[in-house]
Amino acid sequence: MKTTLSVLASLVGLVLAALPSFAADSCGGGCPKLPSNARAVSAELVPLAAYPGNTLSATLAKGKKKTILMADGMLTDGPIAEGVSREYDLGISVNGLSMQPGLLGPGSPEADEDCGVLRSDPDRTCTVTGHWWLDMDDPANAALLGVPITVTLVGGDISGGPAVGAPIDMSLRVRLEKK
């Protein structure tokens, strides 16, 4: 029985190692012209890293007055959920500046989901989402007007636990909305 479990665990490990990763971008085809108002990017079946090792970025043509920059991010288990202790966290920044909420600074973990790190019953599947915004008219954000703006989402397992290396999916959606 012990040998059968070892062989099964080895086969699962080989399948996980063989999974190809995928990326998608709403810009499509390499983005010869940056989009002005909205962009979505994703990565699928990428290995989970310790926080902040998983990264996605989306660039818009330029920041504009009388708009609010909105961003939504997600990190979730891939198709083969691990059921082991893990805590997923997300943080975000735009051109190195914090978005709201962002009390602890650019890229600091603002959204988190405990899927068993502080509990004795790890969840079979785990997902963390976050929603951020930035008022482009705020004088503190003047450096973002008229220049390309790159929103960077960082994520991972802040505990660095046994799920590190397992396949995950990440997604980032960025929009400039008129006030």
pLDDT of 13: 46
Any alpha helices (H) in the chain, and if so which ranges?
2-18
What is the model's pTM? 0.85
Q: What is the mean pLDDT of each run of 10 residues along the chain (179 residues)?
A: 40 48 81 92 96 96 98 90 85 96 86 84 87 97 97 96 93 97
Over the chain, what is the mean pLDDT? 86
Distance CA 119, CA 50 (A): 19
Distance CA 1, CA 36 (A): 59
SS3 category, 8: helix
Distance CA 44, CA 77 (A): 10
pLDDT of 15: 45
Distance CA 160, CA 125 (A): 17
92-133 tens-digit pLDDT: 999 999 999 988 888 889 999 988 877 777 788 889 999 999
pLDDT of 32: 84
Which residues are 171's β-sheet partners? Answer: 42, 74
Percentage, residues of the chain above pLDDT 90: 63
E strand residue ranges, 17-148: 22-25, 38-47, 54-60, 67-77, 87-94, 97-98, 111-114, 127-135
Any alpha helices (H) in 20-87, and if so which ranges?
none
CA distances from 111 to 13, 72, 98, 155 (A): 29, 11, 14, 9
Residue labelled with tokens 């108002």: 37
Q: For the chain, what is the radius of gyration of the CA atoms?
A: 18
pLDDT of 40: 96
Contact between residue 146 and residue 95 where contact means Cβ atoms under 8 Å apart = no
SS3 category, 17: helix
